[in-house]
Amino acid sequence: MIPQIENVRTISRLRNTPGSLSMADFLQRIAERGDVEAFRKLFQSYAPRVKSYMMRQGADANTAEELAQETMMAVWRKAGLYSVEKGSATTWIYTIARNLRIDRLRRELTWVALPEGHDQVASTDALPDDLLTEQERKLRVQTALAGLPQDQLEVVSLSYIEGLSHSEIAERLGLPLGTVKSRMRLAYQKIRDLVEDLK
């Protein structure tokens, strides 16, 4: 029994030597102990591979180097989040690298300048729908005005075309002020009924 136990201990010691540890073991050591030596080995193994991956994805050498270093720093900070159930250590590290690349692309592409000669100011012209609505409104108002009795059309014209007040209209036409207001109210109601569905 004792030799067997000794053999198990020997095997265990061999598995825990730096040369025989898996990448998942390195991640575990980083997470549990902040093992700098384990991180150094991970960095030496993955930083060049991540940089090559970034360059294959179209990054220039400097950007690829930055993203590789950001990836490895994220591995150092997040080592405790890794678990074998999430896949291999390699898959996990490349997922971090891919996400950092996507984040970088999003930051860089938030604003793209137009080519020279295309940086025009937005048009202040009315939209076609607005123009159509306005034309329809004018047509309906004209139709409504044409359908008003002469006495109502007269007070509306004096008010809106000549800009006279109600009392000035009453004075010009020799009518009581109440009559002018009543004719204006009736004319306004007829016009409103014809155009109120146009917003």
Return per-residue pLDDT of the chain as tens, 199 residues: 333 333 333 333 333 444 457 888 899 999 999 999 999 999 999 999 999 999 888 888 898 999 999 999 999 999 989 888 878 889 899 999 999 998 888 877 655 566 666 555 656 676 677 777 778 878 877 887 888 889 988 988 888 888 889 999 999 889 999 999 999 898 888 888 777 765 5
Q: Given this model, what pLDDT does residue 65 score?
A: 93
> 3-state SS of the chain?
CHHHHHHHHHHHHHHCCHHHCCHHHHHHHHHHHCCHHHHHHHHHHHHHHHHHHHHHCCCCHHHHHHHHHHHHHHHHHHHHHCCHHHCCHHHHHHHHHHHHHHHHHHHHCCCCCCCCCCCCCCCCCCCHHHHHHHHHHHHHHHHHHHCCCHHHHHHHHHHHHCCCCHHHHHHHHCCCHHHHHHHHHHHHHHHHHHHCCCC
**Residue 2 in tokens:** 């004792």
| Length in residues, the chain | 199
pTM: 0.46
Structural domains in the chain plus CATH codes: 7-108 (1.10.1740.10), 128-195 (1.10.10.10)
Q: Given this model, what pLDDT does residue 119 score?
A: 56
Place of tokens 């095997």: 11
**Residue 169 in tokens:** 């209209």
Q: Given this model, what pLDDT does residue 113 score?
A: 62
**Residue 195 in tokens:** 């155009």
Of 61, 57, 49, nearest in space to 90 by CA: 49
Cα–Cα dist 137/134, whole Å: 5
**Residue 94 in tokens:** 């490349």
Cα–Cα dist 151/144, whole Å: 14
**Residue 69 in tokens:** 């270093």
Cα–Cα dist 97/50, whole Å: 7
